[in-house]
Amino acid sequence: MTATDAAIAAADGPDGWADDTPVMSRTAVLIVNPNAGSETRAQVIQDIVRTAADLGWRVTVVETQRENHATELAAEAAAAGHPVVLVAGGDGTINEVIQALAGTETVLGAIPLGTMNVWARELGLSLDPVEATRQLLQGRTYRIDLGRVNGRYFLLMAGMGFDAEAVHAIQGKTKTRFGPLAFVVAGALAALRTRGTRIRVRADGQTFETNAALITVGNTRLWAGAVQITHHATATDGRLDVCIFPGRAFFTKVKHFALVLFGRHDDDPDVTYLQVRSLHIVTRPPISIQVDGEAFGKTPAQVNVVPGCLRVLVGEGDVPTLGQAAPE
């Protein structure tokens, strides 16, 4: 019996139920990334299961064992008819899960237990996993859009340029050990040394060329969990927001960073800001791509929005990135 198994057994009690609600209407599969969180992870999972039980939910816990295993586990849960898949991990694990849940009726509930927890921040959830569980299971369900780049869905964003270089540089133990600091340092170094790349863009049928050090395609607003680059993005409007920064001199980069902090960067004529349904990007030479904070090959990139293809749990309160959409 693993530590997680022991936690589940302790939380379930004699029969695992908090009330007499029919099985398939109040069951959830909780997918756990065993590499996320700290040495107290087993206790956290036990507390999550207990909290769900107090709210009338029976939770089955499964752990990922390899890359993309979360996709397989989520597909099995959806095929079995479970109404909800909870994910205790980071944005990378969530990204694996949406590959299976996109286009299904199974609802995603994301519990923050990762490095950046950008989706949880977008929703205004508590970063305490147990409290976030309570907020989600007492919250509302929304139907949202996803982006897709070269066949892979993204919930948050796809990036090309220095942020993708940083993501490629800090995979594995470096990311786990140093967390957000590793990304900030790697990103800053990549931003300072890049002079940009010549790119050709076809956006909703219109073609243009420009120089780019950073290309951010956002379904949501937060970049690195800290600043808003695609700050007009709404995950319910059937469009993706695109922001392209040129590779220029050091002081230009500093100016653009300052404008981002004040939400005024799209007023700068050197910055390209678009809202599109489809996008094709070709670069010479090829540059790195990141998808929801995970490395994903290199350009060229074919990007499009897939409207309304994912159902998600959201806590109470205003969520700007959901726009004016109404809950189900």
Instruction: Please write the tens of the pLDDT for every residue from 124-152.
Output: 999 999 999 999 999 999 999 999 999 99
Helix axes 91-101, 69-79, angle to 10 degrees: 40
pLDDT tops 50 at residue 174: no
In degrees, to the nearest 5, what angle opens at C-alpha 58 toward C-alphas 52 and 59?
A: 75
Distance CA 153, CA 155 (A): 7
Each residue's pLDDT tens digit, 225-251: 778 999 999 999 999 999 999 976 777
The answer to whether residues 88 and 113 touch, using CB atoms and an 8 Å cutoff, is: yes
Check residue 14 and give its pLDDT. 34
Distance CA 256, CA 269 (A): 11
The answer to whether residues 224 and 121 touch, using CB atoms and an 8 Å cutoff, is: no
Each residue's pLDDT tens digit, 284-294: 999 999 999 89
Distance CA 98, CA 92 (A): 10
How far does Cα 298 stand from its chain's mean position?
Answer: 19
